[in-house]
Amino acid sequence: MCGTPVPPPAWCAVGVPDDAGARRRARAASIRVLAAQLAGFGTRVEADLAGTGYTVSTADGRTRVVSDLAAVWPAVAELSGRPFDPLDPLLIARLRERAESGR
């Protein structure tokens, strides 16, 4: 993290205790949810090396490093070549179905 300023807490971190372990667990949970959302879009998301942003990538190696959660979805749309709406009712229904089936 040499020279990388620590950003202020993100909107998605509201309610997360202010300690490193809790932040890491919350971030890991966010990435699991993002992975479920992105299934079928030919993209994946991981924590970036600094641990403050996200890396969005495709199977063919195209990659975008983004600074926060809000920037993930436009990067997915750019890399996949199709619009991505994390609040799409069909996507939410699919995620709910997966959660209920335990997958």
Tell me whether residue 12 is in a domain.
no
Residue-number span of the structural domain to which 95 is assigned? 42-103
pLDDT in tens, 72-86: 999 999 998 988 888
Tell me whether residue 93 is in a domain.
yes
Tell me whether residue 53 is in a domain.
yes
In this prediction, residue 62 carries a pLDDT of 94
Residue-level length of the chain: 103
More confident residue, 57 or 29: 57
Q: How many domains does one find in the chain? A: 1
Nearest-angstrom CA–CA distance, 94 and 78: 22
Q: Are the C-beta atoms of 64 and 80 separated by less than 8 Å?
A: no
Tell me whether residue 88 is in a domain.
yes
Tell me whether residue 30 is in a domain.
no
Q: What's the whole-model pTM score?
A: 0.71
The residue behind tokens 């202020």 is: 8
Mean pLDDT of 82-98: 88
In this prediction, residue 103 carries a pLDDT of 63
Angle (CA) 57 61 64, round 5°: 40
Q: Are the C-beta atoms of 27 and 43 separated by less than 8 Å?
A: no
**Per-residue DSSP letters for 53-95?**
SEEEEETTS-EEEESSGGGHHHHHHHHHTS---TT-HHHHHHH
